[in-house]
Structure 1
C-alpha cells in the first residue's frame, strides 16, 4: 500500500491566488478515482528554497493525500503534469510513501 501526497500551491508563480474551484476539481477527481481523500488545508504549509543560489522563494501549499494498493507511476506522472498546467506551476510535488497499516 502507498500513501500519495500532492502539494498544491495556493498561489500561482505571479503570486495570484488560485481559484477554489481548482482545488474542488482535484478533490472530486481523486475521490472518484480512489474512493477517498484526506486534505490538510486549514493551515497552509510554507515552503522556502533558493533559486539561482541567491533568491529565496516562498510558497504556501495545501496537502492532499490518497491511499492506493498499487503505485501506477505512469498515471501519477501524467496527472502531475496536468496539475502543473492547471495550477500554472513549473513543477509540483507529488510523492509516494510505502505504507503499512497497523
Structure 2
C-alpha cells in the first residue's frame, strides 16, 4: 500500500490566498480517483527552507493524502505538474511512502 501526500500552499508568492475552489477541485479529483481522501486543512502546517544561504522562505501549507495499492508514477508526475501550474509553484511536493496496514 502507498500513501501519497500533496503539500499545497495557501498563498502565492505575493501573499494572495488561493481560491477555496482550487482546493475543492483537488479534493474532488482525488476522492473520485482513489475512493477517498484525507485533508489536513484546519491548522495549516508551516514549511521553512533555505532558498539561498542568506534567504529563508516560509510557507503555510495544507496536506492532502490518499492511499493506493498501485502507484501510477506517470499519472502522479503529470498531476503534480498540473498542480504546480495552478498553484504557481516552481516546485510542488508530492511524496509517497510505502505503508503497512496493521
TM range (shorter): over 0.9
How far residue 17 of structure 1 moved from its aligned partner, in angstroms, is: 0.5
Residue 77 of structure 1 deviates from its aligned partner by: 0.5
Q: Which runs of 4+ in 1 moved over 2 A?
A: none
Alignment of 1:5-84 (within 5 A): 5-84=5-84
Unpaired runs of 5+ residues, structure 1, are none
User: What is the CA-CA distance between 1:30 and the residue it aligns to?
Assistant: 0.4
Q: TM-score, normalised by structure 2?
A: 0.98
Tell me the C-alpha RMSD between the 2 structures: 0.6
Structure 2: state its 5+ residue gaps.
none
- When the two structures are superposed, what TM-score results if normalisation uses the length of structure 1? 0.98
Instruction: Kindly tell me the number of residue pairs found equivalent between the two proteins.
Output: 102
Q: Once the 2 structures are TM-superposed, how far is the Cα of residue 13 of structure 1 from its aligned partner?
A: 1.5
d(CA) in 1 for partners of 2:48, 2:6: 17
Residue 52 of structure 1, CA deviation: 1.7
